Amino acid sequence: MKSHYRVVVIGGGVVGASVLYHLAKFGWSDVCLIERKVLTAGSSWHAAGGFHALNADPNIAALQAYTIDLLSEIERESGQSVGMHMTGGLTLAGTPERWEWLQSAYRVFQTIGIEDCRLVTPEEAVALNPVMSGDGILGGLWADREGYIDTTGTVQAYAGAAKKHGATVVENNRVLELNQTADGWQVVTEKGTVTCEHVVNAAGLWAKQVGRMAGVELPVSPLNHHYLITDSIPEVAALDHELPMTVDLEGFTYMRQDQKGMLVGIYEIDHDHWMQDGAPWEYGFELQQEDLGRIENELMLGFQRYPCLNDVGIKTWVNGAFTFSPDGNPLVGPVPGKRGYWAACAVMAGFLQGGGVGKSLAEWMIHGEPEADVYGMDVARYGKYAENRRYIRETTGQFYSRRFVMTYPNEQLPAGRPLKMAPAHDAMTAAGCKWGVSWDLEVPLYFAPDGFEETPTLKRSNAFDIVAEECRVLREGVGLLDITGFSRFEVSGPRAEAWLNRIMASRLPAPGRAKLAPMLSETGKLKGDLTVLNWGDGTYWIMGSYYLRTWHMPWFDDHMEDGVTVRDLGEEICGFAVVGPKSQAVVEKLTEQDISRLGFMGCGAFDIGLVSAKVARMSVTGEKGYEINCRYGDHIALRRMLLEAGTSEGIRECGFNAMLSTRLEKSFGIWSAEFTQGYTPGMTGMDRWIDWNKDFIGKEAALAERDGNGPAQVQVTLEIDAVDADASGYEPIWSGGERVGFVTSGGYGHTLGKSLAMALVNRDKAEVGTELSVHVVGVERAAKVIAPSPHDPQGKAMRS
Ligand SMILES: Cc1cc2nc3c(=O)[nH]c(=O)nc-3n(C[C@H](O)[C@H](O)[C@H](O)COP(=O)(O)OP(=O)(O)OC[C@H]3O[C@@H](n4cnc5c(N)ncnc54)[C@H](O)[C@@H]3O)c2cc1C
């Protein structure tokens, strides 16, 4: 071990070994992996080694596909066998809803380019897996590229290939302490101290402690998980092919062949956290005692699905721990506030996702950002709230228990909630508000009559008419929307304007004005779809998506300059929007100032009743609207005054579902759908806000896009001949049997009475009037490209 490396990777499980491999392969060979015992000594040695294609997040599914392809490459590079069994895999559906979901998932796979899968009938499923009972199966999804590997061999292959690229592996050396220095980190180990520029926490079951060494509380917890391995089974031994990996979602089990027997793993409802503060340091190649009482119900289902299990002995029980984040996705990337400290942990399926995690992290460290949009596993997607022990326990437990339970897009899950509530929350609840969650905050979805319960569904829900009525209120009357769920950053200081000019690609608004502002990364990809407000007193606000607060703040910090202060106002400022043609009539009753002079996209300080507010005349609904921002303490009074003032105008409270429907009718994009860090201004139409006459971050790349051949795909609005369900996102779009794009978001436009979607399509299919088709919940529907902003295309309402 040298005394200095460019990077020290802590942890020799599959994830650390993959990070090491990718760093060295991409050119950073001065890297060292330090392992407490020997490679695989965490959860990696006892994994079942399975890999499969399905993941609810398409970006993560794509990284899984990358990992599967990589396995043979590391085998070749290292000369170490990974013990590949590419058996193919079956995912089974046991309820009509699950079967619908599986058909949708199949289409999403087509969108992300996973072509080697197909839907199968129950009979075909049984033919593919003859030891399985087909009882209750309604269909399945077959994927060619699923199977299992030898876990120890795989970790050794990653490490071996990394060493061939010049990396170092040091075993039997625990990292004891981490100290931040002026230019990196001092890593104190049992075998001495090394310095480095970057340190990577790939400590798996010990990630919590290795986080705390740097003063970081990572939202991660281990949970126990069982699988069993049987003795030889005559029916299996008699087969002339290997059984496919089989996931029985309604049966809570996964299964693969193990020699001439079977390995059956169980995702039980009755989950079991283990060592929430991290595994003991001395924990090694050990396991927990199996706990059959906890898995009894699921095991029974497994025995029904595979009747041959009833006649065979169980050779081995494995009850081992592995780690989960609150949403089950990994925690990867630079840890905010800790320069040079990187996370690569909470990787629930390391053999499936480890390759993608290693690749993304290495690109991030070397090039400043990963190639793919990996927001779904970015460690910065969580804020301070997620450090809480109970929050971690509830959310990770919920994720584990629901691993094989179907979650509907309109379903609200209870873990870690309610946490943060806007001050008027209780009054709004009394008024019938149904809540969703964004980050830590409860956000209003819609207001329903007493006793109403929304039915979870993949299709249009029984809240359809309620949302329709709220849309009508917003378009024809006046609605009140709680806008606590927006982010707000205050930018001040003598260099505020200069800094904003560099950070934002758009022209800055004049005093008393607001402006849409794309923010780009150095490589010209989107980093934000923000609104900048110039209050005219030297201070500016940046407004955006609430859940990106700790994702945007590190970006501002990383590009900070002297003479500028950026403050997150997310714990201080909240507000209400008054929206609709009658909004001005309501607001002017409450102010002695001349609100009629506040034109579209104007902003300023107003007294609204007793509340000293900051008001902006804009609305994502496309209607005339006033966003009234107030201090947290004033939220209840502001609501009460606005409702009182609006009584004669028939004001009604509305929620985000109506806001989302109305914005779709205006073709207004939103982050995580039309805009992501994977897309460019040219693809998304964001380029129309760019000020090409100034310098800004990402200009060179944006210019190259503008002056080059143009993006391959561009944003369009679609009208879909949908019947009882609307598109939601990532559905493939077809033209004459050829895949030509995908939906970025969709829904029902209640004002227009049409099913709408926004989509990225090949440029030659973007012309208005182009006839296409889209798969909506697995069913192919005719669709047509329509002109953007099908409602009020000239924007007369919002400018009125
Ligand atoms: C029963 C079971 C079945 C599973 N089946 C599958 C499956 O089929 N497919 C799949 O993809 N995944 C499966 N998994 C999950 C998989 O095991 C994990 O996702 C994976 O092992 C995580 O790897 P890791 O590198 O993040 O962590 P770990 O394997 O825990 O590695 C972390 C390493 O860091 C080292 N370390 C920690 N602290 C220090 C320190 N201070 N100094 C030096 N070294 C340190 C540890 O010794 C350890 O070797 C299963 C897990 C279990 C429990």
- Segment 592-621, tens digit of pLDDT: 999 999 999 999 999 999 999 999 999 999
pLDDT band at 173 (very low <50, low <70, confident <90, very high): very high
Length of the chain: 800
The answer to whether 712 and 762 are in contact (CB under 8 A) is yes
Centroid of ligand 1 to alpha carbon of 625 (angstroms):
52
pLDDT, mean of residues 432-449: 98
Q: Which numbered atom of ligand 1 lies nearest the CA of 15?
A: 25
DSSP annotation string for 99-129: HHHHHHHHHHHHHTT--SEEEE-HHHHHHHS
- Could you tell me if the CB of 36 is within 6 A of ligand 1? yes
Mean pLDDT, rounded, of the chain: 97
Strand ranges (E), 406-448: 433-438, 441-447
What's the token pair of residue 227? 């699988």
pLDDT, mean of residues 97-126: 93
What's the token pair of residue 280? 């003991």
DSSP single-letter state for residue 622? S
Centroid of ligand 1 to alpha carbon of 57 (angstroms):
22
Which residue has the CA at smallest separation from atom 25 of ligand 1?
13
Q: Does the predicted model carry a pTM greater than 0.75?
A: yes
pLDDT per residue over 531-567, tens digit each? 999 999 999 999 999 999 999 999 999 999 999 999 9
pLDDT for res 52? 86
- Could you tell me if the CB of 205 is within 6 A of ligand 1? yes
- Could you tell me if the CB of 318 is within 6 A of ligand 1? yes
Q: Which numbered atom of ligand 1 lies nearest the CA of 351?
A: 11
pLDDT band at 62 (very low <50, low <70, confident <90, very high): confident
pLDDT for res 58? 79
Centroid of ligand 1 to alpha carbon of 13 (angstroms):
5
Say whether pLDDT at 142 is over 90.
Answer: yes
Identify which of 793, 792, 717 has the alpha carbon closest to the alpha carbon of residue 476. Answer: 792
pLDDT, mean of residues 748-757: 98
pLDDT band at 53 (very low <50, low <70, confident <90, very high): confident
Which residue has the CA at smallest separation from atom 12 of ligand 1?
349
- Could you tell me if the CB of 608 is within 6 A of ligand 1? no
Q: Which numbered atom of ligand 1 lies nearest the CA of 226?
A: 1
- What percentage of the chain exceeds 90 in pLDDT? 96
pLDDT, mean of residues 224-240: 97
- What percentage of the chain exceeds 70 in pLDDT? 100
pLDDT, mean of residues 195-215: 98
pLDDT for res 286? 86
Say whether pLDDT at 348 is over 90.
Answer: yes
Centroid of ligand 1 to alpha carbon of 458 (angstroms):
35
Centroid of ligand 1 to alpha carbon of 348 (angstroms):
8
pLDDT per residue over 356-390, tens digit each? 999 999 999 999 999 999 999 999 999 999 999 99
Say whether pLDDT at 676 is over 90.
Answer: yes
**Which of 60, 206, 348 to probe ligand 1 with, by most ligand atoms within 8 A of CB?**
206
Centroid of ligand 1 to alpha carbon of 126 (angstroms):
33
Tell me how far CA of residue 179 lies from CA of 30, 210, 334, 442, 708, in angstroms: 20, 12, 17, 38, 47
pLDDT band at 59 (very low <50, low <70, confident <90, very high): confident
pLDDT for res 285? 85
pLDDT for res 11? 98
The answer to whether 338 and 216 are in contact (CB under 8 A) is yes
- Could you tell me if the CB of 347 is within 6 A of ligand 1? yes
